[in-house]
Structure 1
Amino acid sequence: MVAGSKDFYDVVVVGGGHNGLVAAAYLAGAGLSTLVLEQQSHTGGAAVSQQVFPGVDARLSRYSYLVSLLPDKIVADLGLSLELRSRSVASYTPVRRDGRDLGLLVERPEGVATRASFAALTGSDSEYEAWNAFYGSVAELAGVVAPTLLEPLTSAASLRKQVDPALWESLVERPFGEVVEQRFADDTVRGVVATDSVIGTFAGLHDESLIQNRCFLYHLIGNGTGEWRVPVGGMGAVTDALATAARRAGASLVVDAAVTSVQADGKRAAVTWLGGDGERSVDCSYVLANVAPTTLAQLRGLPAVDKPEGSQLKINLLLSRLPRLKSGDDPRRAFAGTFHIDEDYSQLETAYRSAAGGTLPTTPPSEVYCHSLTDPSILSPSLVASGHQTLTVFGVHFPTRLFANDNEAARSESVRRVLAGLESYLDEPLDPCIARDPDGNLCLEAKTPLDIEESVGMPGGHIFHGDLQWPWADDDSQVGRWGVETDVANLLICGSGALRGGAVSGIPGHNAAHAVLDLRP
């Protein structure tokens, strides 16, 4: 039992990441006794803010870094004290073409500068018009799907009837590469569109599994707009607000509690964990698993299953100032959104083929995000005054297999290649712009999929806990369910491995909580 508390709970949540906290806040708010067990010394999982560099007063979003899928309804329902800011720039892509250094700028909202930028790159307005037409149609699909994410599953057929059949076929039934190639002619424009289909997902653009299509959809449907916003105070502010909401509702949150066993038979359940005082256990009516499905199988004592394979390199940097660009564009504007590096369509495909063959891409695609331009509060006043900025670099097509033999050596070479790609578009070396800690060390850290697995317990370093699924019922047997069910009625998945999981959304936590409330007699 938990010291100083009951030996029976209505619900035990395994894992204190953001989804577990969402579930706990809803359930405790509904009057159910709720216990959250977290193996780390803090709640938040991968959505945390941490002082990464010793002696440097900067709190970086170390793993997760932007918010798109978190529904405004959850924020309102739980009374979260949370500010999410829009970025003034959606993206900027440096391009070297015909001896010129250019930059493709996409404003938020798009305006005259965006049209002019497309025209300067492609020589006409046709690609910009194709861009508007394509994302207008995507918005139509997002507007239909987004309202269903916090409801029981609806059928694919019913959703299909609400959108243009040709749009549904191109985004849901055919490999994403086909629609990109049909809609756009320019290699860079194609790449900017295609990137959202492979962030955190290892797939080619013509993969017949369509996991790239699902990844694209999840990147574009948040709140019906797909906008990626900056959490003021960093990602830790999101999970701190959720932990506050859960405690306020009456949930008990226990950290340093490594769960070792989950047992459930459909009516009763028990959870065992190791804490500072040794092994403990508690009985309950329901267990909500905010861990990856492969981890849950281990905790249940089921036969081992293959780990999913993550596919990203995360680099965190603190700069003393932003570097100058060869294009001559203002770096404060270029880095204000998502800064694409070597993500032309052809470069994405070449990098995928290389990585699929077990070879580190020679020119790895990546993208950069500067949190502090939108939210300087993560830096101390002195760092802000001196012009310091944070950079998060997310490398694409870095599957776990590339790091399996020698993680340290592969990490070092991957960082070198990614930063060389960034530097190739700079008008000065990058190293002098990187800040140093009091001991003279560069303020730079990198996380491979294996590092992420070790740090936050995501099997294979997969940031979605496994391949994303379509956010609707694939067959009639799923209609009306919540997409969180397992083979045991009182054991539910409330994390990213749920049918509508992935990214920082709170959706699986909300849905698992409502599934419990529906199941109660």
Structure 2
Amino acid sequence: MPAHEGPGHRTYDAVIVGGGHNGLVAAAYLARAGRSVLVLERLDGTGGAAVSTRPFAGVDARLSRYSYLVSLLPKKIVRDLGLDFRIRGRTISSYTPVERDGRPTGLLVGGGERRTRDAFARLTGGASEYAAWQRLYGMTGRLAQRVFPTLTEPLPTRDELRRRVDDEDAWRMLFEEPIGVAIEENFTDDLVRGVVLTDALIGTFADAHDPSLAQNRCFLYHVIGGGTGAWDVPVGGMGALTDALATAARTAGAVLATGHEAVRIDTDGRAAEITYRTADGEGVMAARHVLVGASPQQLAALTGDEPPAPAEGAQLKVNMLLKRLPRLRDTSVDPREAFAGTFHIAEGYDQLAAAHAQAASGSLPAAPPSEIYCHSLTDPSILGRDLVEDGYQTLTLFGLHTPARLFERDNDAVREELLKATLAQLDAHLAEPLADCLATDADGRLCIEAKTPLDLERDLRLPGGNIFHRALTWPYAQDDTGRWGVETRHANVLLCGAGAVRGGGVSGVPGHNAAMAVLERDAG
């Protein structure tokens, strides 16, 4: 892609602010519908948080730098846009190590029903926890089949969605009372409870019993993806998706102008002018519609409106390259299976509650919870041939319960402190220190990169480092959400980023819905 494709000097049907994956989805849909489209992207490349990079000097490893798994991207978008993009499923869903009765053991979920049932029985000493697991995820599977298709339709009302779910127990558990109630009613084992709860906490700083139900909304989006709840590996890394989207948009006729930062939007509701800045100065572009893929806070800054209350992020993202996978203390599990799924660390139910309480009081968690997976076990294409032949592997770690406020006193120092404590929790379950397995780059430095919420705010302008731009929303209409959940108080300015209703995660859903809103208005 050209580094600075020029926007030209005419009025566009649509100008899209931000070339992240949602902005590219909107651009591709609108351009394919015959609209003239310009994408203004501040950075030197498109993709936003859904990019792949080579973060380690002189090492041929192309890692998904920020976002890393795919669940919420509808096949409809892939088909509609003719994307050259593939995903691969993971045979193992998760492995959670623990010490019981003085010996290392763990819970391996996946590899077939019988194997999973036996793993539950070995851990818990009976069949009841696995039966409860089957009931819960059978229910969420049915709910996913009914709710997921609505994400690319006009917003249903709450009552319409409730009728579509058609399961009062599921509705109560997910939409009306804290998820902690259902977890405690259905499970007795602390480790099993923690594994269930983690889906409610990815990128969300909340307790299992938070009355705001922020954890429920997070859980909902983590179990409905694709109508199954499966989290899959993007072949070639996350950048393969945004590269395919950029190609689709450009092939359809959209202009992608990188190195162009939108700084102001002036609109009367019918026509808009977008002021942008480049290395060479400022310019102004006219448009009938403006779609903003940035956060609601950034949208307010562009239009001069009152910004919404910020919602801080609460995660640590770590990328690593290893010379080999580490051996486990639990010798009953092959590391190639344990790390192929989601490897849970310090995520027992009580541990998660303690970590949240400590962070809420202003302290780093004593035992930071996190989860890890190895992309290259499922998709070695992200590594150069020599690395594959030598047995190198990637590790991606996502830490929980580390809100942005904890890093404000000294981001660099707290990052190092947290990283050390997080890796110590992993080392407790390894038969060898992780440090012995880390690769080194061309300059002799360890291949490990950590990003805090403040790093994400600086690099990607995520408000407070929040990966969802703001608190996740219920997937139904409320008083101010509009028909598609992308509308703003300006008739011709739409929000097409993760902060839209039904936004968050790598889904393309807000981009699709904003494009549909534009096409409906033009048709009307």
TM-score, with structure 2 as normaliser: 0.97
Match of 1:120 in 2: 122
Q: Of 260, 266, 283, which residue of structure 2 is paired with 1:263?
A: 266
Aligned-partner residue type, residue 143 of structure 1: Q
Q: 1:305, CA displacement in angstroms?
A: 4.7
Q: Of 498, 501, 510, which residue of structure 2 is paired with 1:499?
A: 501
Q: 1:264, CA displacement in angstroms?
A: 1.9
Q: Of 409, 418, 440, which residue of structure 2 is paired with 1:405?
A: 409
Query: What are the Cα deviations for residues 310-366 of structure 1, in whole angstroms up to 9, with x where unaligned?
Result: 010011110000000000121001001000001011111110000011100000110
Match of 2:423 in 1: 419
Q: Of 513, 516, 522, which residue of structure 2 is paired with 1:514?
A: 516
Q: 1:478, CA displacement in angstroms?
A: 5.2
Alignment of 1:7 with 2:7, yes or no, is no
CA distance in 2, matches of 1:47, 1:359: 30
8 A contact 2:269–2:490 mirrored in 1: yes
Q: Of 75, 79, 82, which residue of structure 1 is paired with 2:82?
A: 79
Q: Of 197, 200, 204, which residue of structure 2 is paired with 1:197?
A: 200
Q: Of 368, 373, 385, which residue of structure 1 is paired with 2:372?
A: 368
CA distance in 1, matches of 2:352, 2:106: 18
Alignment of 1:471 with 2:505, yes or no, is no
Query: What are the Cα deviations for residues 450-504 of structure 1, in whole angstroms up to 9, with x where unaligned?
Result: 00111111111100000000011135x757x000000011000000000010000
Query: What are the Cα deviations for residues 131-165 of structure 1, in whole angstroms up to 9, with x where unaligned?
Result: 00010111121111111110001111122123211
Query: What are the Cα deviations for residues 215-249 of structure 1, in whole angstroms up to 9, with x where unaligned?
Result: 00000111111111101110000000000000111
Match of 1:316 in 2: 319
Q: Secondary structure at the match of 1:181?
A: helix
Q: How does 1:16-415 map to 2 (within 5 A)?
A: 16-107=19-110, 110-162=112-164, 163-328=166-331, 329-415=333-419
CA distance in 1, matches of 2:7, 2:159: 51
CA distance in 1, matches of 2:360, 2:110: 34
Query: What CA RMSD, in Å, does the superposition of the two structures yield over aligned residues?
Result: 1.2
For residues 3 and 215 of structure 1, do their structure 2 counterparts lie closer, same or farther at Cα, with a shift above 3 Å needed? closer
CA distance in 1, matches of 2:451, 2:172: 37
Q: 1:30, CA displacement in angstroms?
A: 0.4
CA distance in 1, matches of 2:110, 2:289: 47
Q: 1:429, CA displacement in angstroms?
A: 1.2
Range moving further from structure 2, 21-30 or 150-159: 150-159
Aligned-partner residue type, residue 294 of structure 2: V
CA distance in 2, matches of 1:223, 1:370: 22
For residues 291 and 478 of structure 1, do their structure 2 counterparts lie closer, same or farther at Cα, with a shift above 3 Å needed? closer
CA distance in 1, matches of 2:130, 2:159: 32
Q: Secondary structure at the match of 2:402?
A: strand
Query: What are the Cα deviations for residues 38-76 of structure 1, in whole angstroms up to 9, with x where unaligned?
Result: 000000000000000001110110100000000000000
Aligned-partner residue type, residue 277 of structure 1: D
8 A contact 2:296–2:308 mirrored in 1: no
Unaligned runs of at least 5 residues, structure 2: none
Q: Secondary structure at the match of 2:430?
A: coil
Query: What are the Cα deviations for residues 1-60 of structure 1, in whole angstroms up to 9, with x where unaligned?
Result: x95734210000000000000000000000110000000000000000000000111011
Aligned-partner residue type, residue 423 of structure 1: D
Q: 1:304, CA displacement in angstroms?
A: 4.8
- Percentage identity across aligned positions? 58
Q: Secondary structure at the match of 2:315?
A: strand
Q: 1:112, CA displacement in angstroms?
A: 1.3
CA distance in 1, matches of 2:325, 2:7: 52
Unaligned runs of at least 5 residues, structure 1: none
TM-score, with structure 1 as normaliser: 0.98
Q: 1:95, CA displacement in angstroms?
A: 1.1
Range moving further from structure 2, 257-266 or 458-467: 257-266
Aligned length: 517
CA distance in 2, matches of 1:33, 1:435: 47
Q: Secondary structure at the match of 1:202?
A: coil
CA distance in 2, matches of 1:453, 1:474: 29
Q: 1:111, CA displacement in angstroms?
A: 1.8
Q: Secondary structure at the match of 1:149?
A: helix
Match of 2:466 in 1: 462
8 A contact 2:320–2:448 mirrored in 1: yes
For residues 334 and 4 of structure 1, do their structure 2 counterparts lie closer, same or farther at Cα, with a shift above 3 Å needed? closer
For residues 478 and 461 of structure 1, do their structure 2 counterparts lie closer, same or farther at Cα, with a shift above 3 Å needed? closer
